[in-house]
Amino acid sequence: MASSSSSSAAVRSWRTAFLTLRDETLTSPRTATAVGATSSSSIPQLLQHFVFSHSHSLVSAAPELPPHEVASDVFFLLELVANSCLGPQDMTATLSHTSQLIRDLCHRVYFEINSSSWTLMFDSFATMLDYLLDKAAPIATADSSADAAVITPIMDCLETIRRLIIVHHKKSSPPDDTQLVKFLLRVIESSHAEFIKSFRSITNQRFAAEIGRRLPRYSSLWELQTLAFAMLGETVSRYGPSIPVDVWRSLIEILRKVMDFLASKSLLVEDSVMSRFYSSLLHCLHLVLMDPKYPLSDHVASFVAALRMFFTYGLNSRTQLTYPDVGHQQKDLHILNKTSLEEPKRVEPGPYRPPHLRKKEISNMKPKKSWNPQSSSDCESSLVDFMSSDSDYSDSDGFVQDTETVRKAKVRVAAIVCIQVSSQHHFLKKVAAIVCIQDLCQADSKSFTTQWTLLLPTSDVLQPRKFEATLMTCLMYDPYLKARIASASALAVILDGPSSIFLQVAEYKGSSKFGSFTALSSSLGQILMQLHTGILHLIQRETHSRLLASLFKILTLLVASTPYSRMPGELLPTVITSLQARINEGFSFKNYQTGLLAAAVGCLTAALSTSPSLDVREMLLKETSTGFPETEKKSSVLFTLLQYSEQLTSPNICFESLQALKAVSHNYPNTMFAFWERVSTIVYGILMVATPEFPSRPWKGHTGDPVGFIGEKVITAAVKLLDECLRALSGFKGTEDLSDDKLTPFTSDCIRMKKVSSAPSYELDSKEFNNNEPKACHSGIEQWSEAIEKHLPLILRHTSAMVRGASVTCFAGITSHVFFSLVKEKQDFILSSLINASICDEVPSVRSAACRAIGVIACFPQVSQSAEIRDKFIRAVEINTRDPLVSVRITASWALANICDSIHSSIDDLPSQQSKESNVDSPSIASLTECALRLTKDGDKIKSNAVRALGNLSRFVNYTCLSGSHDKPMDRMRLSINTNSNEESTSSNDMKGSHGNASNSFRPGSMGDLCWLDRMVQAFISCVTTGNVKVQWNVCHALSNLFLNETLRLQDMDWAPSVFSILLLLLRDSSNFKIRIQAAAALAVPASIHDYGKSFPDVIQGVEHIIENLGSDQISAPSSFKYRVVLEKQLTSTMLHVLTLASSTDHEPLKDFLVKKAPFLEEWLKTLCSSLGETSTQSDVEDKSLGDQKKEMISKAIRSLIEVYKDRKHRSTVQKLEELDKSIW
Contact 247, 294 (CB under 8 A): no
Percent of the chain whose pLDDT exceeds 90: 30
8 Å CB contact between 303 and 256? yes
Contact 687, 791 (CB under 8 A): yes
Model confidence at 964: pLDDT above 80: no
Q: What are phi and psi of 917, to 5 degrees?
A: -120, 160
3-state SS record for 596-647:
HHHHHHHHHHHHHHCCCCHHHHHHHHHHHHCCHHHHHHHCCHHHHHHHHHCC
Q: How confident is the model at residue 951 (pLDDT cuts 50, 70, 90)?
A: very high
Instruction: Calculate the average pLDDT of the chain.
Output: 77
Residue bearing the bigger pLDDT, 742 or 555: 555
**Which pLDDT belongs to residue 272?**
81
| Candidate from 632-646, 839-853, 970-984 with smallest mean pLDDT | 970-984
Closest CA to 347 of 404, 413, 415, 393: 393
399 has pLDDT over 90: no
* Burial degree of 219 (CB within 10 A; 0-12, 13-18, 19+): buried
User: What length does the chain have?
Assistant: 1225
- Secondary structure letter of residue 1057 according to DSSP: H
Characterize 992-1002 residue by residue with b for buried, 16 or more Cβ atoms within 10 angstroms of its Cβ, and e for exposed.
eeebeebbbbb
What's residue 84's pLDDT? Answer: 86
Model's pTM, two decimal places?
Answer: 0.78
* Residue 960 φ/ψ, nearest 5 degrees: -130, 150
Give the HSE-up count for residue 409: Cα atoms under 13 Å, Cβ half-sphere: 25
- Reported as a single tens digit per residue, the pLDDT across 1134-1181 is 999 999 998 888 888 998 899 999 999 999 999 888 887 654 444 555
Q: What secondary structure letter does DSSP report for 296?
A: -
> How many CA atoms are closer than 13 Å to the CA of 69, on its beta-carbon side?
13
- The one-letter code for the residue type at 571 is L
Q: Pick the range with the lowest mean pLDDT from 597-601, 1088-1092, 1207-1211.
A: 1207-1211
| Residue of 92, 199, 107, 106 lying closest to 152 (CA atoms) | 92
- Name every residue whose Cβ is closer than 8 Å to that of residue 604 and which is 6 or more positions away in sequence: 576, 579, 580, 583, 637, 641, 660
Among residues 457, 620, 441, 591, the alpha carbon closest in space to that of 537 is found at: 457
Query: Per-residue confidence at 17, pLDDT binned at 50, 70, 90?
Result: confident
Of 655, 644, 645, whose CA–CA distance to 699 is shortest?
655
Pick 148 or 94 by higher pLDDT.
Answer: 94
Q: Distance between CA atoms of 795 and 690, rounded to whole angstroms?
A: 9
- From the number of C-beta atoms within 10 Å of its C-beta (0-12, 13-18, 19+), residue 1114 rates as exposed
Q: With a cut of 50, say whether residue 537 has pLDDT above it.
A: yes
**What average pLDDT score do residues 198-207 get?**
53
1048: amino acid identity, one letter: L
Say if strands 957-961 and 973-977 run parallel, antiparallel, or are unpaired.
antiparallel
- The pLDDT value recorded for residue 1120 is 64
Give the residue among 1097, 1077, 1081 at the shortest CA–CA distance from 1089: 1097
Secondary structure tally for the chain: helices H, strands E? 56, 3
Helix/strand/coil for 897: helix
Give the pLDDT of residue 463.
80
441 half-sphere exposure, CB direction, 13 A CA radius? 30
Whether the predicted pLDDT of 692 surpasses 50: no
Q: How far is CA 244 from CA 283, 443, 520, in A?
A: 21, 18, 38
CA distance 333 to 340: 11
Average pLDDT for residues 659-682, to the nearest whole number?
91
Q: How confident is the model at residue 41 (pLDDT cuts 50, 70, 90)?
A: low
Residue type, 1126: V
Q: Where are the alpha helices (DSSP H) in 760-814?
A: 766-771, 773-786, 792-795, 801-810
Say how far apart CA 874 and CA 892 lie, in whole Å: 10
Bridge partners of 976, per DSSP, are 958, 1001
Q: In whole angstroms, what is the distance from residue 839 CA to residue 854 CA?
A: 12
Report the candidate in 597, 266, 270, 560 with the shortest Cα–Cα distance to residue 409. Answer: 270
Structure confidence at residue 779 (pLDDT) = 66
- Least confident range of 335-339, 434-438, 864-868, 1089-1093: 335-339
Express each pLDDT in 980-1006 by its tens digit: 333 333 333 334 333 333 333 333 333
**The most confident of 158-167, 191-200, 1004-1013, by mean pLDDT:** 158-167
Asked if the model's pLDDT at residue 639 lies above 60, the reply is yes
3-state secondary structure of 539: helix
pLDDT of residue 723 exceeding 90, the answer is: yes
For residue 482, how many other CB atoms are within 10 A of its CB?
Answer: 29
Phi, psi angle pair for 974, to nearest 5°: -120, 165
Higher pLDDT, 701 or 1205: 1205
- What is the per-residue pLDDT for 819? 92
Angle at 979 between CA 974 and CA 981, to 5 degrees: 100
Per the model's pLDDT, the better-predicted residue between 451 and 633 turns out to be 451
**CA–CA gap between residue 690 and residue 797 (Å, rounded):** 11
CA gap 96, 156 in Å, rounded: 8
Q: Is beta strand 957-961 parallel, antiparallel or unpaired with respect to 427-430? A: unpaired
- Identify the pLDDT of residue 733: 82
For the cut 60, the answer to whether the pLDDT of residue 143 exceeds it is no
Q: What is the pLDDT of residues 1106-1134, one digit of tens each?
A: 999 887 766 656 566 678 888 999 999 99
CA distance 321 to 473: 10
Nearest to 233 by CA among 276, 189, 184: 184
Query: What's the pLDDT score for residue 1034?
Result: 94
Which of 222, 101, 79 minimizes the C-alpha distance to 159?
Answer: 101
pLDDT, one tens digit per residue, over 42-60 is 888 888 888 888 888 888 8
Q: Please tell me the distance from the alpha carbon of residue 424 to that of residue 391, in angstroms, as a whole number.
A: 9
Rounded Cα–Cα distance for residues 260 and 970 (Å): 80
Strand ranges (E), 244-385: none
pLDDT-above-70 percentage for the chain: 70
Backbone φ and ψ of 1134, nearest 5°: -65, -40
Distances (CA, A) of 549 to 488, 552, 641: 10, 5, 19
Report the range out of 491-505, 679-693, 1060-1074 with the highest average pLDDT.
1060-1074
